[in-house]
Amino acid sequence: AMQFRSTDLDDSLRCYSLMKYCFVQIRNYVKAYEINSRMELLKPRMNDSVQIDFGINKSSLLAALNFYNEAIKERRAEFNRDHTIKDTDAVASLYNDVGVYFNRSKNWDSAEVSFLKAKEVLSALKYPESKKVHYEFFKALIGGNLGYIYFNKGQTNKAIPLLKEDIYFSLKD
C-alpha cells in the first residue's frame, strides 16, 4: 500500500479539511467530528500565512450527532471566540442557531426565547437599501423558525403567516 506523507503541517491540515468535507457530504458526522478534533489539535501550530478552510463548525457537527446541549455550549463558545456583541449579524445568527438546537431537542420555550431575541436584534438594526433583501430573508427565516414552534404547540393560526412569509422571502432570496 502506498503511504501519503505530507511535507508539512499545513499540508496535513489541507488533507484533513478535504476529508472532513467528504465525510460531511456522506453524512458520516462521527468521522467528520473525529477529523475536526485532530484539526483543532494541529491548529495552534499552523502557519499564520496559510489559509485553510476548516469547514463546518464544531457546534454544527455536534448538532448533526444530536448532542444539542453540547452544540449550544459550543456555539456560544465559538461566538465568544470569534465575535463581539457589536457584530449584530453574528449575535442574531447565534440566537437563531441556539434556537434551532433547542427546537431540535423539542425545548420549545427556550427556542422561542432565542428566536425572539434574534428578531429583536435584527429589528433594531439600521441597514443600507442594498442589504434589504438579505435582512428581509434573515428576519423571515427566524420568523419561520418561530412558526415551527407555534405549529408544534398547536398554535397554527400564529404559525401559518410566519411560515408563509419564510417561504416567500426564501424564494425571493
Nearest to 135 by CA among 152, 118, 147, 150: 118
Q: Which of 5-19, 49-63, 126-140 has the lowest mean pLDDT?
A: 5-19
When comparing pLDDT for 171 and 145, which is higher?
A: 145
Please tell me the distance from the alpha carbon of residue 136 to that of residue 13, in angstroms, as a whole number. Answer: 37
Helix axes 132-152, 156-172, angle to 10 degrees: 150
When comparing pLDDT for 143 and 50, which is higher?
A: 143
- pLDDT given for residue 33 in this prediction: 95
Q: Tell me if the pTM is above 0.85.
A: no
Contact 133, 87 (CB under 8 A): no
Quick count: other Cβ atoms within 10 Å of Cβ 44? 6
Q: Which of 44-53, 58-67, 149-158 has the lowest mean pLDDT?
A: 44-53
- pLDDT given for residue 6 in this prediction: 47
Q: Which of 32-41, 98-107, 157-166 has the lowest mean pLDDT?
A: 32-41
